[in-house]
Amino acid sequence: MAEEYFDIVDENNDPTGETALRSVAHSQGFWHRVIHVYFYRKLDKEIELMVHLRSPFKDLKPNCWDPRFGGHVPSGESIEATIKNEIKDETGIILETENLLKGEVRKYDGGANREFIYENYYNFTGEIEDIAFNDGEVQKVEWMGLQDIAETIKLNPENWNASSDELGRIANQLKIITY
């Protein structure tokens, strides 16, 4: 698969008009955009997230659990188009963006990896068996309660592509959305 180009943005998330290869954007610390979609469901009073085990072939955090689906926004593509494409590729679900609840646009400065993250939430009402792994990035999916995720991240943070702080913030967003 060919390496993607990203549109480069400045520290205020304004497009610069420049593009860069993924490897260059990450190695040079260029600001770029990504999307995250959290699949959730509410059972009684508990909120669960659909988590997935990342492929062993991922360059970042292979064989780790992840509470979100998503990816980088390719050059020339809208946020909405990226959401649809990434979710279809990773889960086989054809998602209509009007069914998404938009969250924050969060600025993340990870040194060489600088991103504006467009967070979204999707109340998945289908069956987990409906999920199809089309792009080789996902090994399996399962539902986990927020408390269970928090405990496993605390005990084994190396097994997760998420932090306790991130999960706490997402849990607060989901509590607002679902109550």
Q: Shortest CA distance to 137 belongs to which of 63, 82, 32?
A: 63
Q: Is the dihedral of CA 67, 103, 123, 86 positive or negative?
A: negative
Q: Could you tell me if 159 and 64 are in contact, meaning their C-beta atoms sit under 8 angstroms apart?
A: yes
Annotate 97-108 with DSSP letters as a single string.
Answer: GGGPEEEEEEEE
Return the structure tokens found at 75: 């050059």
Q: Could you tell me if 149 and 49 are in contact, meaning their C-beta atoms sit under 8 angstroms apart?
A: yes
31-43 and 113-123 beta bridge pairing? parallel
Q: How many CB atoms lie within 10 A of CB 94?
A: 8
- CA Rg value for the chain: 16
CATH (residue range 5-178): 3.90.79.10
Tens-digit pLDDT profile for the chain (179 aa)? 578 999 999 999 999 999 999 999 999 999 999 999 999 999 888 999 999 999 898 878 899 999 999 999 999 999 999 999 999 998 999 998 888 999 999 999 988 899 999 999 999 999 998 888 777 788 899 999 999 999 999 999 999 999 999 999 999 999 888 87
What pLDDT is attached to residue 96? 84
What pLDDT is attached to residue 1? 57
Return the structure tokens found at 66: 């992840």
The residue extents of the domains of the chain are 5-178
